[in-house]
Copies of this chain bind each other. A is one copy, B any other.
Amino acid sequence: MKVKIGELARMTGCQVVTIRYYEKEGLLKAPERTEGNYRLYGDDAIARLQFILHCRQHGMNLSEIRDLLTFSDNPTVSCDWINTLIKKHIMDVDRQINDLLHLKEHLKSLYDKCDGGKKSECGILKSLNSFENCTYCQKMKRKKSLPQ
């Protein structure tokens, strides 16, 4: 059963423009067209888009997904590297979680330092003004996660 782009969007929860974008980026193959030049997708295309969305949801970027799709289209080589890819992602997600946990602690310590008065009394502005007394920022600085 063939569907047009709007229907595909509805089925997958992906925006129409994003589907066209994925096609332009070479993640989705150019589908067949109707006489009126409308894109027409079959089950394979639907599955492919769902695969892409699934990967995006797992934090992969478009070029990693392209690699997976290329591999998937070409089943003659070993798939060892996929485990490596997943492992890399787990470590990456772990790092992000740790950073965010630290950040949350610091934001919590900022909260309620503002007493709703005027600027000169606002504890939040004061805190944001000093890196030195901020263990969170010292830690981050060592990790070089400031803008590069």
Contact = CB atoms under 8 A, between A and B. Distances in A.
A54 B137 contact: yes
Copy number of this protein in the oligomer? 2
A128 B68 contact: yes
Interface residues of A, number: 65
A146 interface: yes
Contacts of A29: none
A93 interface: yes
A56 B56 CA distance: 25
A140 B53 CA distance: 11
B93 A97 contact: no
Nearest to A80: B116
A119 interface: yes
A14 B148 CA distance: 7
- 10 residue pairs, one from A and one from B, having the closest CB atoms: A75-B119, A79-B122, A80-B116, A83-B114, A93-B104, A90-B107, A97-B100, A82-B114, A13-B146, A86-B111
